[in-house]
Structures are given as structure tokens and as C-alpha cells.
Structure 1
Amino acid sequence: MKSLRFPALCVIIALIAACAESPTGRRQILLFSDGEMSQMGATAFDDMKQKMTVTRDGKTNAYVSCVADAITRSLPSEWRGSWEVVVFDDPSANAFALPGKKIGVHTGIFKVATNADQLATVVGHEVAHVIAQHSAERMSLQSVAGTGTQLVGVLLGESQQKATVMGLLGLGAQYGVVLPYGRAQESEADVYGLDLMAKSGFNPAASISLWENMSAASQGQPPEFMSTHPSHQTRIKDLQKQLRTAEPLYRQAQANGVRPNCKAI
């Protein structure tokens, strides 16, 4: 018994030391540093650029970069700076952001995000995942569950665990393993992402029409209790509540002259 008590005590101490707070005040366990997460995010992003088709169309890239740059300029100071933005020629209505300041957008997203405000909803949501350190939180929980901190170095070479790490970074759909963000993290990214896009001068009311488009295009969705993602209707209801906070931020940004002129393709 004594031999088991010391490791268990070490784990408890490590968890207490790693307690953090998300942008919405939710308590988190974070066992991985920003440097470790940035390394994994950058490696995963490079891997995707090699395996997927990168769009070279100038208008498409300019449009997506305009929206992404407007959002990243409004971030807390420690998160500003140069974010790499890449558009992938892929029919899925998808986008993602990774630690290390990486943003990826699939061309299929334009089927549901039909204007700049709706695209800003998507990008703001994905960037919110990074700012809230959801990948580090998922990686930490997986480590505590028994995978081990060796996950840090997995992406430096081929490994049987590579797909797992990709999933923990939020890239499960592209790598054949489904490890989506949990409902709490998705809801948090919805709420915080709405504030981010509003501060950036995009109309937060567009988030409602975006998710209505998503719902229409989804051709059915599993019941919420069977999914780690909130249902479309739950998301819309929660976003409608958050508009009371986001709309004043939008009006303030407009009054301050923050008016992104991103022309949809």
C-alpha cells in the first residue's frame, strides 16, 4: 500500500499545481506548457499542409485572411502577433485553430458561412478553443487517464499514437479518430468566440443564421445525449442569450472605428 501512496500523492500534487481557469471562469487541469502545445500544433499543421491540398486562389486567401486577421488583432496581448492562416481545398464545412497560432479553413465552409460575419463566427469559435487552451486540457485529462506525458514527443515522428494526439488537438475528423471537444468546451468556445468576433467588429447576430445554415445542411444530427457536441438548437439558444453581452461589444467596436471590410467570395 505504501508503494502506491507516494505516486498517488504526486499525481494529486501535480493536479493541484496545474489548476487553471478558462476565459469564462471554468476550472481546468493543464499539465502541458504553452511551448509544448505550440510545438505539437505547429507539427500537426505542417503535416496537414503536406497531406491536404492548399488553395492558391488569391481572392479566397485574401478573404479568409482578412477575417482571421481582424479577429486575432483583437485578442489579449499575449495572443496577438502573426497567426498562420491556410485555406484547404476540401468540401467539408470545417475549420480549426491550433496552438502555435495556426488557423485552417476548408473551402466547404463557404456553403454555410455565406458572408464575412458568419465566417467570423466560425473563426472566432476556433480561435476561442486555442485561447481557452482546450487542446492542453484534453491532453492533460488523457495523460491523467493513463496515456502518459510521452504524448508530447509523439508528433516528432511516426507513432501508433499519432492519430490519438491529432484527435486531442481537435483534428480527429481528418485523421480517422473521433475525439471531439466535449460539450462544455464547445459551449465555452461558442460563448467566448462570440465575444471575440464582436470585439473585432463583426455582427454577432450572424452566429444565429450561421447555425441555422449548419442545421439545414447537416441532414439530421444525433440526439444531444449521444453526442459530445451540443445540438444545433441548443447552440442557437445559448448564442441568443450571449448576444446580450456580445452586441454591446460590437457597438463599441463600431463606435471605435473597428469595421473590417472583408469581401466575401
Structure 2
Amino acid sequence: MTTRFFSLFALLILTACAQVSTTSPGVVGVNRPQYMTFSSNKFNQQMSASYSDMMRGAAKKNSLNQNAAMVARVRAIAHRLIPHTAVFRPDAPGWPWEVNVITSDELNAFCAAGGKIAFYSGIIEKLQLSDDEIAAIMGHEISHALREHGRERASQQLGTQLGLTLVGIAAGANQGQMNLAGDMSKYLYLLPNSREHETEADRMGVELAARAGYDPRAAISVWHKMQGTNSKQPPQFMSTHPSHETRIADLESYSAKVMFLYDSARSQKPAG
């Protein structure tokens, strides 16, 4: 009876799972099919609520948008990037975008689903980022939102957990065997997919930056700086991110592919 119930549940989940293309490929050619279970609207609403909670918490700690010049700088860069999201998703420029800066030593930035951007002051100050480098990071984070990587990861995790449960029940596996299977799925499926998400965001990010008139090669200098801050990065097969060396090599290739977009944007920029 239990096996029957889980089999029916699995069938319902798989039926609800849709193969989609969240973005157009752009010049960089990101066109991998994605499998989604969760509703985009519901997921975006949840992420928006979480972002709002985070900003309220930062405000209570007096760490939200404390440096007016830094906030204006980050928002100006976002203002230039956002219109070019239409290349990948025509609906994206009309999203309810928000851009905020949190005072923190953390080297971090993100763009939550639906266009909710946050930069931590630490990444700008400690890495002494130029505008081109901020644009590189922001373009990368925006690309995660455009591709709906968060929703995709949640869908993957649900599917993997469900599959392991069904196999375990059918095979009569004990808890130790289930744990081993979980570790194997993590290293053979979930982590490689997360690394693929990072690579897609890198490639789309340099295109967004180039189209907005920011030097796409700045993404390379960002990761050279990041490489200098972290000498204990785990082996690539154990990490959700590509190794610094792999990432830099890919960025060198793809930034070269979009240089003509940067040159075009620069030539159209009014003098002075």
C-alpha cells in the first residue's frame, strides 16, 4: 500500500513537471532545457516575501542603504543593465525590480527571483570594485533570476528526494544505504547542475554587461580577485561552484565573444 501511494504521488509530480525554456539564448547561446515543478508565480512571491523580510531586518539593524553614494552607484549600474534583460526575457524589464545595499563585511551579492537585488558593502570595498566589476557581478546575479535557477534547483531537489524514497522503499534499503544514495545523487547530479547554473549565469552576465556598455573582461578580474581571497576552495566535484581556474578560462572565452557588443555600446554612448 505504501509503495503504491508513493508511486501514485511520483506520477503526479512527474506529470506536473514541465520542460521549459526560461530564456532566449542570446549571443552566448544558453539554451539548455529546464525541468520545473514549482509554479513560477508562487515561487517568485515566496522569494519576494523573503527579500522583503531580509530588508526589514537590515533596516532594524541600521545596515540598509547607509552609504548614499554607494547605493546611488549600485542603482545606476542596475539601471543600465535592466533594460538589456529583454534580450533574454521580454518580460524582465517590467519586473518589480528592487536594488539595495547592506552594510556588511560579507563578500556577497544576489538577485532573488523576480528582480530583487542586494549588494553587500564588503564585496565592493574589500575587492575595490570598479563600475565594470560591479556590473559583472550584478549581470551574473541577474542572470540567475532570468533563468529561474532557484526554482529549478528546488524542482531538482524535490524530484531527487522523491526518487530516492521510492527506490529505497522498493529495494527495502536501510537508512545507511539511503544516506549513501543521497550522497551519490548530490555529487553525481545536484552539484554538477548547480555548477552548470553558475556557468550559465557567468556567460549571460558578460553579455548583459557588454550590451550595457560595461567591459565584459571585468568578470575575469573579479574572479582573479576572488581567487586571492579564498585559498581553501573545495575540489570542483564537491562544490556548487566551478573552480576559479575553470571559471576564469570560461569567462576569458565568453567575454571575447561579446566584445563586439561592448564596442557597439561604447560607440553609441554620447561623448562627455
Normalised by the length of structure 2, the TM-score is 0.76
CA gap 1:220/1:30 in 2 versus in 1, 3 angstroms: same
CA contact under 8 A between 1:199 and 1:249: conserved in structure 2?
Answer: yes
* Count of paired positions: 227
The aligned residue for residue 48 of structure 1 is 54
1:131 equivalent to 2:146? Answer: yes
Larger CA deviation: 187-196 vs 51-60: 51-60
CA distance in 2, matches of 1:205, 1:12: 41
Residue 61 (str. 1) matches residue 71 (str. 2): yes
Q: Which has the larger radius of gyration?
A: 2
Distance in 1 (CA, whole Å) between partners of 2:48 and 2:227 is: 32
**For residues 10 and 54 of structure 1, do their structure 2 counterparts lie closer, same or farther at Cα, with a shift above 3 Å needed?**
same
Tell me the equivalent position of 1:161.
none
Q: Which moved more, 1:53-62 or 1:217-226?
A: 217-226
Query: Residue 97 and residue 3 in structure 1: after superposition, are their counterparts in 2 closer, same or farther (change >3 A)?
Result: closer
In 1, the alpha carbon distance for the partners of 2:72 and 2:98 equals 13
CA shift digits 1:28-58 (9 cap, x unpaired): 1112233212211211111111223213221
Counterparts of 1:3 and 1:87, CA distance in 2: 48
Partner of 2:182: none
Partner of 2:235: 223
Instruction: Read off the aligned partner of 1:67 and give its amino acid letter.
Output: I
Structure 1 residue aligned with 2:116? 102
Alignment CA distance shift 1:113-1:188 (3 Å): farther
Query: Residue by residue, what CA displacement relative to the aligned partner does 1:138-175 show, whole Å, maximum 9, x if unpaired?
Result: 1212232448xxxxxxxxxxxxxxxxxxxxxxxxxxxx
CA distance in 1: counterparts of 2:194 and 2:146, whole angstroms: 16
More helix by share: 2
Q: Which residue of 2 aligns with 1:39?
A: 45
Q: CA RMSD in A?
A: 2.4
Structure 2 gap ranges (5+) = 24-29, 163-190
1:3-43 deviations in Å (ceiling 9; x for gaps)? 6654443333223xx10125411121112233212211211
CA distance in 1, matches of 2:39, 2:128: 34
1:66-112 Cα deviation digits (max 9, x unpaired): 11111112111310034110100010110000113210000011122
Name the counterpart of 1:168: none
How far apart, in 1, do the equivalents of 2:231 and 2:4 lie?
56
The corresponding residue for 1:11 is 13
- Counterpart of 2:247? 235
Q: CA deviation at 1:122?
A: 0.5
Paired residues for 1:108-257 under 5 Å = 108-110=122-124, 111-112=126-127, 114-146=129-161, 182-257=194-269
Q: Which amino acid aligns with 2:72?
A: A
Please state how far the C-alpha of 1:186 moved relative to its aligned partner.
0.7
Q: Distance in 1 between the 2:270 and 2:145 partners?
A: 23
Find the residue that maps to 1:182 and give its secondary structure: helix
- Matched with 1:171 is none
Deviation by residue 1:164-189 (Cα, 9 ceiling, x = unmatched)? xxxxxxxxxxxxxxx99810101111
What CA distance in whole angstroms lies between the structure 1 residues aligned with 2:140 and 2:204?
A: 7
**Identical-residue share of aligned pairs (%):** 33
- AA paired with 1:184? E
Q: What's the TM-score, normalizing by structure 1?
A: 0.78
